[in-house]
Amino acid sequence: MAPRFFLVLFCVAIITGCASTQSSVLSLITGESQEDADYGGRQHFPVSPQEAVDSLIVVAPREGWEVVSTGDEYDAHGQHGKFFRIEPSKLSDGKKSMSGVFYEEWKGSYVRISENNGLPEALVDALVAEIKANNGYTK
C-alpha cells in the first residue's frame, strides 16, 4: 500500500511541476513575457516599424490618444524597432500614459497588445484599418 501512495504522490508532484514549467518554457521559446496580466499577444503589420509609428500618429487622435514621443529602439545588436509613448487626450478618461515598441521582423513589424506596456487593444482595429488604407489593401 505504501509504494502505491508514494507513486501517486510522485505523479502528482510531476504533473503540478510541469504545469508551471510549460509557461516558463513557452515564454523562453516565444520571447514573450507572461507577467503582464493584460497582455493580449502580438499584432503583426506588413509595414516597417517607422510606417507603423506614422500610422499610429494619424490614428491616435481620432481614438482619444496623443503620441507624445517616438524614437529608435536599440539592443546589443543595434536598432530593432521604433518606440512610442502615448497619452490620453483628456486626463479624465481614466486612461494612463503608455509606451510600446514596433519591433522589426522579416515581413514587417509587430507590437505587443497590452493595457500596461504596449499598444492598447482599443487602438488595434483603427491602426489596422489605417495601415490597410495606406497600403492599398481592401477589407
Q: Check whether residue 81 and residue 100 sit in a common domain.
A: yes
The span from the CA of 102 to the CA of 74, in Å, is 12
User: Rounded CA gap, 129 and 59, in Å?
Assistant: 9
What pLDDT, on a 0 to 100 scale, did the predictor assign at position 22? 47
Same domain assignment for residues 21 and 87: no
Same domain flag for 50 and 76: yes
Instruction: Give CA–CA dist 108/137, Å, rounded.
Output: 15
State if pTM tops 0.75.
no
Q: Please check whether residue 11 lies inside any domain of the structure.
A: yes
Whether residue 63 is found in the same domain as residue 15: no
Shared domain check, 71 and 26: no
Specify whether 25 is located in the same domain as 51: no
Mean pLDDT, contiguous 10-residue spans, the chain (139 residues): 64 56 49 55 93 96 94 85 92 77 92 89 93 73
The pLDDT value given to residue 116: 81
Do 54 and 102 lie in one domain? The reply is: yes
Is 20 domain-assigned? yes
Total number of domains constituting the chain = 2
Report yes or no on 36 lying in a domain.
no
Determine the pLDDT at residue 72: 93
Structural domain of 2: 1-31
Residue 20: predicted pLDDT: 47
